[in-house]
Amino acid sequence: MPILWVVAVIFVVSVVGFITGRARALQSVGGDSRQLHSLPLYYGSHAALWAVVPAAATLIVWLLVQPLLVNSRVVETLPDRLLDKGSSIGLVMSDVRRVAEGLDVAVAQGALSHDEAASIGSSSVNIREFLGSIGLALGSDVSPEVVDAAQLHRGLNATGSALMSWIVLAISVGGAAYAYRRSNADFRARNVVERGVLGLLIGAASIAILTTIGILFALLFNTIEFFKVYPATEFFFGTNWAPSFSGRGGLSDLGVLPLLWGTFYISFIAMLVAVPIGLFSAIYLSEYASSRVRSVAKPLIEILAGIPTIVYGLFALLTVGPLLVSLFGKNTLNWMQGGTAVMTAGLVMGIMLIPFVSSLSDDIINAVPQALRDGSYGLGATQSETIRLVILPAALPGIVGAILLATSRAIGETMIVVLGAGAAARLSMNPFDAMTTITAKIVSQLTGDADFSSPEALVAFALGMTLFVLTLGLNVFALFIVRKYREQYD
Amino acid sequence: MAIKNQTSRGVSHTSLLSKRDAHTQKRNSAEKRFRIYGMVALSISVLFLTFLFASILRSGLPAFTQTVMNVELVVSQEDFDEAESKMLKTKAYQDIFVAALGAELARRNLDVAFDNKAIERIVGKPGGTIRSYFTEDPSRVGQPATFELAASSRVDGYFNGRVTRETLVDSRFLKATDLDLVDALQTGGIIRQAFNWNFITGTDSGVDNPGGAGLGASVIGSFFMMLVVLFLSLPIGVAASIYLEEFAPKNRWTDFIEVNISNLAAVPSIVFGILGLAVFIQFAGLPQSAPLVGGLVLTLMTLPTIIISTRASLAAVPPSIRDAALGVGASKMQSVFHHVLPLAMPGILTGTIIGLAQALGETAPLLLIGMVGFVAREYPDGFLSGFTDANSAMPAQIYTWASRADPGFYEKAWGGIIILLLFLITMNAIAIILRRRFERRW
């Protein structure tokens, strides 16, 4: 683990920097720390920061950039003959990487000496058999060009890594030395260190932005890639979902409409369960219940929110599904063919969302000022009339916002629909039919052994983009409604 | 005039008090109905909760017991030599086993007919286990040895009530006559139920052996993921919250960060899985199914939760603390790190534990980074390889079991859920205790 070693050495340099920087500052005032501008600790931290931060930043950037550079360099040298055979650059490159990794593993295991690995050519041994013998399976036979490319890959990577280690270490030592030289009585170490720490804090806060950018890029690039191989109009307006994985030809229908229908149908049933139960629970808890009932019932409902979705998924698949079949299945009404259905997933998802709706509504109802209630009682209204005619209208924007947020949660929910809704995409009105959703199809398209450049795998990214836009839109809309129509009472 | 008016009103008033008119009755019953709606809604949610837990316990508890068969046998030197000289060696040992079992049954005066095939249906093929026991250490030959053999999943189901005589259809897996033998073995005390330690400490088995499946390896996988999440999300989350709560000027950039954080908290978890697949595995080339990748994805997912709760606890520290620190000459940074942060620490830790509990139960992103296709047959070799070696995680393992064809795995999935929920309850309990003990009201 050479990178681990580099990190360890940086750590040692920073400790040495801390001790020497602190010592030099103290020495400059003859050991009397009162004459220093800052506490001795800051001089040490200053040196340690200089040893770590620039070096670590270089290391991270280098680790991200090197694979890209090496890749493009190797792709340039690949002969055209390899690419003509109908295989994409991505596939050839993944072979190249696998061979290169395999040779590295062979050296690490001691099956090959360093020189042997470097000189292993296309002619000498059957690479595939050899790598197979040390436990690395290669998909297809390896052509000589691929082996050459793999050797180039290894060579570039080795030089790159060596160069990286030395440069990073030089930066670390250089930084520590620079800070050491600056350590003396007049140097304002605290101000510099605090500015540095503030920079780190800002960096940490920006990770949220980096994550969003990462999500957007991951979705966007692959979605564009998908629309290059599959027409966008057919994706958005196609009413048939029938992916065919390689072997049956590349003709698949990838229309999103059946999936959208399944998603909305299941979410609708979930909301049909969650909204009345959640809302009435919230009203009862905040307006009627004694504090003893409240202190027991509220945490009980919130337990429902803390249960992982895989538990609900299993509950749908193994308990609710068979139960519904026994009620509506062949022996009774014959509405339902199998345990996985829109109804199953919708019901269970509704249960999951009860606490979501109820705790949000509870907060909102509690935020309605007492004066409104008192006024209503004073006019002779009963409690329920007060709730229906005064409190709910006052809390309505907040409640609508809560329902929209819960809907967005329902649309993005994965495990319950993967296990409970079925796999068949269809446009049907019967809630006892099996249907499927966007999230379930993302999972099924990306968990197979599909090649990532095929439309069947890339469609998952387009689906992810659709999902992301849908949920984000709902969230923004919910916030907008809450902000726009909120009554200000203070 | 005025007096008369008053009396007439007074009369009608008393009549209102003594008996309710139709309108009032209607209003009162509407009131009562409304109240009942609320009670019904509340009891339905509590009912769902009880139903959920009852079905988890009912279906999951059998996973913790296992049906085992205890047979003592002595393999003499002649038997050993003879068995080793045969072509089908394990078959020879199985014959010895069957003979020993017959002798044992006869000793207890249990008269029941059985053959080799029936034994195979009940405990699989015991010959291999017995042979390796003796070939491992030949000095064991001639000594009495007790074998504890796990019964097949169908026999297990017979003990748990999953398989009954009425529903049993003769198949190559189990016949009705086998159940007579099982009953006889049970009265003889040879076959019994024992606590299934293998389920807790063992590793996943193949698709055809639900009896041998264990959760242990995936608990370790989850543990390494949680280590990554803890050591990344706690410092990053705290640093981000300190900046946003204490230092950030009100400008577009910080507004943008805040909007981003609240949006990330609402992004569906599967999208984080796509991010992990595209960025960490495809772009950065990190290994598939590795707890490291899972941990990174879950870190990004839990960061918003941790940031939101950390900011709340930082904001709860009264400004007088900061003012006092600044008053005695501390810098802004010193007042935050020396005074505000330690006072907010209990709240931050509580939020972090709750965030970790959320991350522990999260499944969807793990499906996409390859933690499901992988069969966790082994424990990682060491601490570092624990992060990078392919492994499963608890929720992913449960999903894997739930999607296997053999219904014997369903029981394991429910059992896995019991263990997962135990972890979550423990973590939440720790969070609650922390909050109760250390939370300060200002």
Handedness of CA B229, B233, B235, B238 (dihedral sign): negative
Which residue shows structure tokens 């803890």?
B230
**Which chain A residues are within 8 Å of B243, Cβ to Cβ?**
198, 201-202, 204-205
User: Is A413–B284 a contact, with Cβ atoms under 8 angstroms apart?
Assistant: no
User: Is B402–A419 a contact, with Cβ atoms under 8 angstroms apart?
Assistant: yes
Q: How confident is the model at residue A306 (pLDDT cuts 50, 70, 90)?
A: confident
The pLDDT, as a whole number, for residue A353 is 93
Residues in A 151-170 with any Cβ partner in B closer than 8 A: none
Residues in A 229-288 with any Cβ partner in B closer than 8 A: 276-281, 283-285, 287-288
Interatomic CA distance for residues B328 and B72, integer angstroms:
80
Greatest CA separation for chain A: 99
The pLDDT, as a whole number, for residue A406 is 92
CA angle A433, A438, A441 (to 5 degrees): 85
Among the partner residues B38, B274, B384, nearest to A464 by beta-carbon distance: B274
Interatomic CA distance for residues A245 and A454, integer angstroms:
9
Per-residue pLDDT at B11 exceeds 50: no
User: Is A318–B414 a contact, with Cβ atoms under 8 angstroms apart?
Assistant: yes
Query: Please, which residues have CB within 8 angstroms of residue B149's CB and are 6 or more apart in sequence?
Result: B68, B69, B71, B123, B124, B126, B129
Tell me if chain B has a CB within 8 Å of the CB of A310.
yes
Q: How confident is the model at residue A113 (pLDDT cuts 50, 70, 90)?
A: low
Burial of A82 (0-12, 13-18, 19+ CB in 10 A): middle
Per-residue pLDDT at A228 exceeds 90: no
Nearest residue of A to residue B288 by CA position?
A447
Please check whether residue A70 is in contact with residue A159, taking contact to mean a CB–CB distance below 8 angstroms.
Answer: no
Q: How confident is the model at residue A235 (pLDDT cuts 50, 70, 90)?
A: confident
Per-residue pLDDT at B324 exceeds 60: yes
Per-residue pLDDT at A150 exceeds 70: yes
CA distance B408 to chain A (A): 12
CA distance B169 to chain A (A): 21
Beta bridge partners, B148, equal: B70
Is the pLDDT higher at B66 or at B276?
A: B276
Per-residue pLDDT at A418 exceeds 60: yes
The pLDDT, as a whole number, for residue A183 is 85
Q: Return the SS3 of A433.
A: coil
Q: How confident is the model at residue A423 (pLDDT cuts 50, 70, 90)?
A: confident
Tell me if chain B has a CB within 8 Å of the CB of A453.
no
Nearest residue of A to residue B52 by CA position?
A315
Domain ranges of chain A: 2-187, 253-485
Please check whether residue B263 is in contact with residue B196, taking contact to mean a CB–CB distance below 8 angstroms.
Answer: no
Is the pLDDT higher at A470 or at A247?
A: A470
Q: What is the ipTM, given to two decimal places? A: 0.85
Joined together, the tokens standing for residue A232 give 């966008």
Taking only Cα atoms into account, the Rg of chain B, rounded to an integer number of angstroms, comes to 33
The two counts, helices (H) then strands (E), for chain B are 20, 3
Interatomic CA distance for residues A240 and A426, integer angstroms:
8
Joined together, the tokens standing for residue A127 give 């690479």
pLDDT tens-digit readout, A156-190: 888 888 888 899 999 999 999 999 888 888 888 89
The pLDDT, as a whole number, for residue B322 is 94
Nearest residue of B to residue A463 by CA position?
B271
Separation in Å, CA A458 to CA A239, A475, B144, B216, B373: 19, 26, 63, 35, 19
Nearest residue of A to residue B361 by CA position?
A308
Nearest residue of A to residue B417 by CA position?
A311
Tell me what the mean pLDDT of segment A288-304 comes to.
Answer: 88
Q: How confident is the model at residue A121 (pLDDT cuts 50, 70, 90)?
A: low
Tell me if chain B has a CB within 8 Å of the CB of A472.
yes
Is the pLDDT higher at A489 or at B224?
A: B224
Among the partner residues B331, B367, B428, nearest to A194 by beta-carbon distance: B331
- Give, in words, the CATH class of A253-485: mainly alpha
Residues in A 212-231 with any Cβ partner in B closer than 8 A: 212, 214-215, 218-219, 221-222
Per-residue pLDDT at B38 exceeds 50: yes
The pLDDT, as a whole number, for residue B419 is 92
Q: How confident is the model at residue A248 (pLDDT cuts 50, 70, 90)?
A: very low
The pLDDT, as a whole number, for residue A139 is 57
pLDDT tens-digit readout, A186-211: 888 899 999 999 999 999 998 888 89
Mean pLDDT of chain B: 83
Domains and CATH numbers, chain B: 65-195 (no CATH), 216-438 (1.10.3720.10)
Tell me what the mean pLDDT of segment A37-54 comes to.
Answer: 90
Which residue shows structure tokens 């992988």?
B374
Tell me what the mean pLDDT of segment B294-319 comes to.
Answer: 92
User: Is B44–A461 a contact, with Cβ atoms under 8 angstroms apart?
Assistant: no
Which residue shows structure tokens 């997912």?
B301
Among the partner residues A194, A304, A447, nearest to B49 by beta-carbon distance: A304
Is the pLDDT higher at B201 or at B52?
A: B52
Tell me what the mean pLDDT of segment B402-428 comes to.
Answer: 88
Per-residue pLDDT at A97 exceeds 80: no
**Which chain A residues are within 8 Å of B234, Cβ to Cβ?**
none
pLDDT over 90, % of chain A: 30
User: Is B275–A452 a contact, with Cβ atoms under 8 angstroms apart?
Assistant: no
Nearest to B359 by CA among B424, B403, B440: B424
**Burial readout B234-269 (b: 16 or more C-beta within 10 A, e: otherwise):** bebbbbbbbbbbbbbeeeeebeebbebbebbbbbbb
**Burial readout A18-39 (b: 16 or more C-beta within 10 A, e: otherwise):** bebbbbbbbebbeeeeeebbbe
The pLDDT, as a whole number, for residue B8 is 45
Per-residue pLDDT at B376 exceeds 70: yes
DSSP secondary structure of A308-328: -HHHHHHHIIIIIHHHHHHHH
Among the partner residues B248, B257, B368, nearest to A446 by beta-carbon distance: B368
Tell me what the mean pLDDT of segment B149-153 comes to.
Answer: 76
Q: How confident is the model at residue A120 (pLDDT cuts 50, 70, 90)?
A: low
The pLDDT, as a whole number, for residue A125 is 57
